Amino acid sequence: MTTSRFRISAVLAATALLAAACGGGGPKADSGAKISDNKIVLGVLNDQSGAYAQLSGKNSVKAVELAIADFKAKYGDKAVTTDISVETADHQNKPDIANTKAAELYDRKAVDVMLDVPTSSAAEKVADVAKEKKKLYFNISAATTTLTGAKCNKYTFHYAYDTYMLANGTGKSTTEQGAKNWYVLYPNYQFGQDMEKSFSAAISAAGGSVVARDAAPFPNTSGDYSTYLLKAPTLNPKPDVLGTMQAGAELVNVVKQYNEFKLRDKGIGLAVGLMFLTDIHSLTPDALAGTTYTDAWYWNFDAQNRAFADRFLAATGVRPTFAHAANYSAAMQYLEAVQAAGTDNADEVIRQLEGKSINDVFLRNGKIRAEDHRVIHDAYLAQVKAGKDVTEAWDYVKILKTIPAAEAFRAPSPDCHL
């Protein structure tokens, strides 16, 4: 019995020595940081084939790759790890596919942080998966306020914009400028429903009213909005403005038909709830000349933005939308937080992010609120130039005013319990 005990003790001691020599039985970063599998994987989950493919899509993957390159260049061999990569998937704007793809990326592709995810119903599903897996998720391209409200969770950060920001800018300013009566047309899913609610509240607060509202199918595979646009002039009272809440390719279709039916000539102006640079490029500035909207970022706002936009143009052939810039920023801020924490452990990274003040290529006067993980920053009231005033390709907008970060976003919601 004594001999057996001696042999067991010897085996255990040898095993302990071997584990110590191997760094505790698992791979570690060369720098000694605690990086799982000695690698970091960023996931980009978005629409790469449908209505939102141009405004974000595959070019957001390129934006994240630029962030990784800049992070490596900044830290060199002092980086927590140099093995940093991107995995990507197309969720086709379908919540069930987003749910499945998110789980696959987190589990099978070892993704540490999920980025982008347009389409609010899909975004909510991914938030649920992030919470379940205890993995980070930076939403960029969905606008629903539920991500910092009833659906908020510790692992989800809402980065670029939301329906409150859009309505507080466009709905409020357009009403104050005299468009008191609105006809609101919105896509019939979570984003559109939230937009209609946020815009109605902003319009009412500014002294206006919504005389009618209609929910259009989403996705609208026919691209036909004639029923709604022909209805607009028949309403009593007649609306001063059509507020369209469609986005991406669907917004392009609404605006084309708005112009075809000459609603502006009939005294009905156009207000766009959400617009991206790629939408203006597709339609041409003359199709939208004079239209005001709220933007989260503009590529030619200042020298810093333009420098990034020049690099992006060289890499993709197009100027970046705010979604592209925000994906770059979110990827960089995640990597910076990992560097500061010395680990990719999600809870440790979150501690580095909460309450952080940021000024970078996307975020001006930015702050990650600890209360609800809403990332606040300056926003902009923008106006589309007439074609004759465009002197450079892609420079389609003039910024009318800056909306300070503290005013652009709503206060933390009592519905959020992190």
Residue pLDDT, tens place only, 235-255: 999 999 999 999 999 999 999
pLDDT of residue 6: 36
pLDDT of residue 18: 34
pLDDT of residue 17: 34
Q: Taking residues 308-312, what's their average pLDDT?
A: 98
For 164-295+381-408, which CATH superfamily applies? Answer: Response regulator (3.40.50.2300)
Q: Taking residues 252-281, what's their average pLDDT?
A: 96
pLDDT per residue over 132-164, tens digit each?
999 999 999 999 999 999 999 999 999 999 999
Contact 192, 199 (CB under 8 A): no
Instruction: Give buried/exposed letters for 331-354 (b at 16+ CB in 10 A, else e).
Output: bbbbbbbbbebbbbbbeebbebbb
Tell me which of 11 and 197 has the higher pLDDT: 197
Given CA atoms 273, 220, 57, 146 in this order, what sign does their dihedral have? positive
pLDDT of residue 203: 97
pLDDT per residue over 325-341, tens digit each?
999 999 999 999 999 99
Q: Taking residues 113-131, what's their average pLDDT?
A: 97
pLDDT of residue 33: 55
Does the pLDDT of residue 217 top 80, yes or no? Answer: yes
- Domain layout of the chain by residue ranges: 36-161+301-377, 164-295+381-408
Q: DSSP letters of 6-62?
A: HHHHHHHHHHHHHHHHTTSSS---TTS-B-GGG-EEEEEEE-SSSTTTTTSHHHHHH
Does the pLDDT of residue 206 top 60, yes or no? Answer: yes
- Fold classification of 36-161+301-377 is Rossmann fold (3.40.50)
pLDDT of residue 158: 98
Question: Which SS3 state, helix, strand or coil, does residue 132 take?
Answer: helix
Percent of the chain with pLDDT over 90: 90
* Displacement of CA 169 from its chain's centroid (Å): 18
> pTM for this one?
0.89
Q: Taking residues 280-301, what's their average pLDDT?
A: 96
**Chain mean pLDDT for the chain:** 92
CB neighbours of 347 closer than 8 A, spacing ≥ 6?
A: 134
pLDDT of residue 401: 93
**CA distances in angstroms from 348 to 5, 23, 155, 345, listed in the order given:** 42, 21, 11, 5
Does the pLDDT of residue 170 top 80, yes or no? Answer: yes
Does the pLDDT of residue 194 top 70, yes or no? Answer: yes
Q: Taking residues 285-314, what's their average pLDDT?
A: 97
Does the pLDDT of residue 187 top 90, yes or no? Answer: yes
Question: 3-state DSSP: the chain helix, strand, coil percent, rounded to 5?
Answer: 45, 20, 40
Q: Taking residues 119-138, what's their average pLDDT?
A: 97
Does the pLDDT of residue 54 top 70, yes or no? Answer: yes
Q: Which amino acid makes up residue 385?
A: K
pLDDT of residue 26: 34
pLDDT per residue over 329-374, tens digit each?
999 999 999 999 999 999 999 999 999 999 999 999 999 999 999 9
Q: Which amino acid makes up residue 55?
A: L
Of 9-13, 69-73, 408-412, the least confident: 9-13
Fold agreement (36-161+301-377, 164-295+381-408): yes
